[in-house]
Structure 1
């Protein structure tokens, strides 16, 4: 193929993801707490009803709802208190007409009761008598047996990342081990003669290598397992050896060496490593134009620009969806958390190109404003000063001051 034929972002995403493996890549069984943040590989079903009995959702009195009909502050319904139901114990008896039982939140309803009157809607008359000041309907203030999840029902579906909420539900159901998708192992390689380790003092024309730190963190945030294979100088044999080592992993990320130039041979090397080879070399995107997207013998390979801002933009648009798919998740979630804000300034953009604009958020006059963070893609502080990014689509030629935009968190 001819290198550096610019593709639209959506076209490049589609070409790349369709050629990549679909997830999950494998399954492993973990203890519940170890599985925090991991993606379920299969549905988890409830062995029994949740809750296992009718429970009160408030502090008050368990009643037969019909006994309270017509009750008001001017004409209370008078009921006899026949027991106080302790937490964690079954009621001692069934409620009869005109009877009630004192009950705490979470307490088990006695047979015969079908509602609970909140304690603030009653008046204490005697040790064994209470006045109900407000009528309740059947089922009011009651959590019915199986209402959370019936026996055999799906507690948590496959493909759901396990948050604190899911862990709580699974523990409540007595599920202590779960089967989760194996984390994709992502090899990261940095290339460039100008790079030195972060602990070294750079010489003339040299810079400290930092992209691998951002990429490792981003991979971990997306549920992958990052493995940094180190740096390679701009020497063909050295780069090729690193890439061959990297192809032992599930995904390969190469930082640097993706632009057009005499010494940037990464695309040529990737193209000769195996089938299918390079799918995309160059995306109509700013920053991130010299992106490489390839699949080599079933292994996705992404060549990211060396500039830190460009590398992180490319990761968000291409690597993040890939890792989601390898975990069995939709590559592009239907809901993307974003903040609505007004543009603080006019911003120009080239039609036919996606621009990813870094912005800082500022509250003024009761509204949120997005202030463009100016700077070139090699300036990492444009990311640290930004609160989010605004994506300017191909069909737009810019944004106007005051225009409402979606700000995606960085």
Structure 2
């Protein structure tokens, strides 16, 4: 019996449908993490500054704190000569010294500005002679001074809710004296491979068998998102009961499940039959290449993405559908991937109505042009098309292809 995917929807429609269907099904608990342990968690509330930063005016350079009017007209041939009262470091307080006319205080970067001083002269524009310093350059009021609250002010939102916490976010949180932050638990994603022909790496192949490389790609891709954690449940043959038992276990233990394989149209594609019997389809098949069988469903009130068993098609499903949907579910700002423009080395065709993801390699020509070389070998299972390339171009649904010499945008991996 021949079974069909049915009408295909666009990539944008697939992301929209999956987001709408899955968003209310995934509930993440709020937990507390220290700033040492919260990397790549998502903030569950705004983080507000407890203090001004800097807490007081401070020096932005190494040099001498002065009253700016004392340096008026100073030059190498006519230096202003000031008496050095002392030395200040970042651990000093502003009231440690009071600077009066004709006086200066030596200090390092980050040191508070002593009372009375309104500017700092850099070391490079001075010469120290005993307890006096010669000033060779006039400075205006405020020169080389970081003003109180210049970085941020008390009460200011430092990190917004639904921010994926990177090292710099955690650093600024720590800089205001906060040690713990409320975050959403990481989204747990279960991964199941389907296919009687699959063998795990490390075992010997028999006739008709292939190694399960796709699940390795999927699990590691999911981990790179940062806000997710994954568990791999293994390879299961094309046998309904065994696969159903594993799938239901993964559904109980995770917020979302991704399956690989079993998304085609043959009678052996038992995952399709499980969805038909126990769940509902969100969509089945996407008008994109590779990755046309990419699908989404709901089983036992849990989201399921169904990816092709071919690694490159699975990667496309992750890149085009799964990743954007997960960012949408958490209301996260999608990361901006580096893009470089180049000249296409040969024609690349496309089927109108499909969105194609073409792996490419970029190189610099002898005349310093960026040349974009499409990878010659095609097919959803050609892993070398990812390993031997460094980016991809997108041919959108309304494009018949790009001619040789066209200027194209390359999205770098």
Which TM bucket (shorter chain)? Answer: over 0.9
- Determine which of 308, 311, 315 is the counterpart of 2:311: 308
Deviation at 1:273, TM superposition (A): 1.9
Deviation at 1:3, TM superposition (A): 4.0
Q: Which moved more, 1:381-390 or 1:366-375?
A: 366-375
Residue in structure 1 matched with residue 122 of structure 2 by the alignment: 118
| Post-superposition CA distance 1:330-368 (Å, at most 9, x none) | 3x44x3322333222221111221110011121223232
Residue in structure 1 matched with residue 6 of structure 2 by the alignment: 4
- Determine which of 309, 323, 328 is the counterpart of 1:325: 328
| Post-superposition CA distance 1:149-202 (Å, at most 9, x none) | 212222222222222222322232222222222111111110011111212111
Residue in structure 2 matched with residue 377 of structure 1 by the alignment: 380
Q: Which moved more, 1:294-303 or 1:217-226?
A: 294-303
Matches for 1:278-293 after TM superposition, within 5 Å: 278-293=281-296
| Post-superposition CA distance 1:201-245 (Å, at most 9, x none) | 111111111211111111111121111111221122222222222
Deviation at 1:66, TM superposition (A): 2.6
Residue in structure 2 matched with residue 226 of structure 1 by the alignment: 230
| Post-superposition CA distance 1:226-271 (Å, at most 9, x none) | 1111122112222222222222121111100101122223223213
The alignment status of 1:102 with 2:103, answered yes or no, reads no
Residue in structure 1 matched with residue 82 of structure 2 by the alignment: 79
2:5–2:293 contact (8 Å) kept in structure 1: no
Aligned residues: 405
For the residues of structure 1 that align with 2:309 and 2:96, how far apart are their CA atoms? Answer: 73
Deviation at 1:24, TM superposition (A): 6.5
Matches for 1:9-408 after TM superposition, within 5 Å: 9-21=11-23, 25-90=28-93, 92-124=96-128, 126-222=129-225, 223-248=227-252, 249-274=254-279, 277-330=280-333, 332-333=334-335, 335-364=336-365, 365-375=367-377, 376-408=379-411
For the residues of structure 2 that align with 1:200 and 1:379, how far apart are their CA atoms? Answer: 21
- Cα pair distance change 1:187/1:259, threshold 3 Å: same
Deviation at 1:57, TM superposition (A): 1.0
1:27–1:182 contact (8 Å) kept in structure 2: yes
Q: Which moved more, 1:280-289 or 1:365-374?
A: 365-374
RMSD over aligned CA atoms reads 2.1
Structure 2 residue ranges without an equivalent (≥5): none
- Cα pair distance change 1:16/1:326, threshold 3 Å: closer
For the residues of structure 2 that align with 1:139 and 1:406, how far apart are their CA atoms? Answer: 45
Deviation at 1:53, TM superposition (A): 2.1
Deviation at 1:60, TM superposition (A): 0.8
For the residues of structure 2 that align with 1:360 and 1:86, how far apart are their CA atoms? Answer: 52
| Post-superposition CA distance 1:37-73 (Å, at most 9, x none) | 2222222222212122221111111112232233333
Deviation at 1:294, TM superposition (A): 1.8
For the residues of structure 1 that align with 2:281 and 2:239, how far apart are their CA atoms? Answer: 20
For the residues of structure 2 that align with 1:152 and 1:87, how far apart are their CA atoms? Answer: 24
Q: Which moved more, 1:115-124 or 1:66-75?
A: 66-75
Q: TM-score, normalised by structure 1?
A: 0.92
| Post-superposition CA distance 1:354-387 (Å, at most 9, x none) | 1100111212232322211122111111111111
For the residues of structure 1 that align with 2:65 and 2:407, how far apart are their CA atoms? Answer: 52
Structure 1 residue ranges without an equivalent (≥5): none
| Post-superposition CA distance 1:81-104 (Å, at most 9, x none) | 222224422353211123221111
- Cα pair distance change 1:253/1:119, threshold 3 Å: same
Q: Secondary structure at the match of 1:155?
A: strand
1:267–1:278 contact (8 Å) kept in structure 2: no
Q: TM-score, normalised by structure 2?
A: 0.92
Deviation at 1:309, TM superposition (A): 0.2
